[in-house]
Chain A
Amino acid sequence: MMVENIVTVIAIFSLGVGSLGVLFGALGLLRLGDVYQRMHGAGIIDTGGAGLILFGLLLASPDWTVSVRLVLIGLLLALTSPTATHAIARAAHFAGVKPLLKTSPDAPIEKGADE
């Protein structure tokens, strides 16, 4: 009984923090300066927000088949979301979208250097 209570509290905490993470990530998607910066906001949704919400659901899952699916969804998101983000960054870079930079970069990139 006691253990069950603690698990429920952790699940609720995880769901709550995950919701906050998702909200902040979406806010970043809206507020930050250019495409490259917004990717960091999307990164919060994909990692912190999704991870914590799925973890909370995992603790609240009624039986093991549900847990297996949750773990699979988490693995899939962890593998695919950085790949998709990198694909967007690379495509934007090759399309000639220049990032806003605060200071002089120590690696000025030549456009289309590897083609």
Chain B
Amino acid sequence: MSLWFSITLVAIGISLLLALARAALGPTAFDRVLAVNSIGTLAVLAICVYGFFDGRPEFLDIALLYALINFIGTISVLKYFRAGTLGDHVPTEKQRGAQ
């Protein structure tokens, strides 16, 4: 079984590199956000599989947290793109046009 876990880990690692290439290539900012989001999902999977590979399922707690933070991170980066702020204050249409 351990062999299969390591094969899965290698596959996830290669996918991580491919996604990293897309994050580096761009061309738009949204490509990069998409790639970073995918890297987050892949990292969650990698943490899970590594926990099984190493026989330490406590890693799953970390994966759970990582999945939560990955989502919040993506949303907040997009909100920052859109509104230019992370707080409650959302600039009105006029202010945004003036930027």
- Give chain A's interface residues, CB within 8 Å of chain B: 8, 11-12, 15-16, 18-20, 22-23, 25-27, 29-30, 35, 38-39, 42, 45-46, 49-50, 53-54, 56-57, 60-62, 65-66, 69-70, 72-73, 76-77, 80-81, 83-85, 87-88, 91-92, 94-95, 97, 115
Q: Which residue of A lies closest to B63 (CB)?
A: A73
Give every chain B residue within 8 A of A49 (Cβ-Cβ): 15, 45
**Interface residue SS majority, chain B:** helix
Given contacts A19-B12, A53-B8, contact A30 B45 (CB under 8 A): no
A45 touches B41 (CB 8 A): yes
A84 in contact with B64 (CB, 8 Å): no
From A23, A56, A62, A69, contact of B15 by CB (8 A): A23
